[in-house]
Amino acid sequence: MLSVTEVKRKLPKEFVDSLYEEYTPLTVDKILMGMSGERNTSLRVNTLKSNIYGLMNLFKENNIKFERVSWYKDALEIKNVKEKELQKLPQYEKGDFYIQSLSSMVPPLVLSPKPGEHILDVTAAPGSKTTQIAALMQNKGEIIANELDKIRFKRLAFNIEKQGASIAKAINLRGELLYKEYNETFDKVLLDAPCSGEGRFQANDAKTYRQWSKKEVIKLSKLQKKLLKSAYLALKPNGILIYSTCTLNEEENEKVLDWAINNLKLKMLDINIEITGAKEAFTNNVDESIKKAIRILPTKSQEGFFIAKLQKIK
């Protein structure tokens, strides 16, 4: 594991400087430490095919050490085995469990999908959240899972089938234009938006941050607003919209939400899940209600993430 000083040397200087503009020095050190080494592998049992107790027994038999996750009964954090080793298990091939970062599991939990509902996942590949939503719905209802990129779309369709998420249908459309096909159609919408991925940075893995730039952050925030408007228009009146990113900056998080609240008929809702290490969103120069959103800072256990829950007003 690298020191904070070593992490600073490896990451883009402009990114590190931007952290100091938005966070206290102590919090920046915590964030950088969360980027200093590899994260533990985590996974979610696929309750459409298996159960947590069977999976825990399997891991005990194979000397795989794990911890249960306090805020999600179907998730495990693995302590002594990497992803590649877990992928060799026949239960992985059968789709009994899905390797997924802990923070990535939060948006579907906040969405709280119910059996029988109609759900849209705007940018769904590779299918982590789509298949989690299907499991939470007990495969009753309908999920439209959209992905624009052709290669990622194929991966999405593969994972939906492998996980047995029979209520999910993969489609290949522009997220910004989905509302034209699905105007006021869905009870709930998940927009896990394309983002600069700052919450996933690992100092020893240059590919996690090589593409980052301030210019790219601004470009992505413009796309996020277009996707959010499309998600809003595809949502029924009084429907629930989850906006999430795996990044840390205000430009792609609070400022996008502030734009949405001021330009669309949306209101912020409380997130009633006690996620380890979650903090209130910033409210500097944005609507005060945005503090209801949560930011998860990167650690050895979880990636950095941002999650907001909104409701469409009639």
pLDDT 10s digits, 221-264: 999 999 999 999 999 999 999 999 999 999 999 999 999 999 99
* Domain residue ranges in the chain: 102-312
* Percentage of the chain lying above the pLDDT 70 cut: 100
- Is 246 annotated as catalytic? yes
- Residue 276 scores a pLDDT above 90: no
139-188 pLDDT tens trace = 999 999 999 999 999 999 999 999 999 999 999 999 999 999 999 999 99
> What 8-state DSSP symbol labels residue 205?
B
Asked if 22 contacts 48 with a C-beta cutoff of 8 angstroms, the reply is no
pLDDT tens per residue across span 53-102: 999 999 999 999 999 999 999 999 999 999 999 999 999 999 999 999 99
- Count of residues making up the chain: 314
Q: What's residue 314's pLDDT?
A: 81
The two most distant CA atoms of the chain are separated, in Å, by: 55
Strands of 207-250 (E only): list them: 235-245
Provide the CATH topology of domain 102-312.
Answer: Rossmann fold (3.40.50)
Q: Please tell me the predicted confidence (pLDDT) of residue 1.
A: 80
81, 165, 246, 261: which one is catalytic? 246
CA angle 63, 132, 182 (to 5 degrees): 165
Q: What is the pTM of this model?
A: 0.97
Contacts of residue 239, Cβ cutoff 8 Å, sequence gap at least 6: 186, 187, 188, 189, 311, 312
What sign has the CA pseudo-torsion 26, 27, 33, 35? negative
Decide: 153 and 175 in contact? Cβ < 8 Å. Answer: no
**CA-CA distance, 78 to 91, in Å (whole number)?**
16
**Residue 40 backbone dihedrals phi, psi, to 5 degrees:** -65, 145
Q: Work out the average pLDDT over 258-276.
A: 96
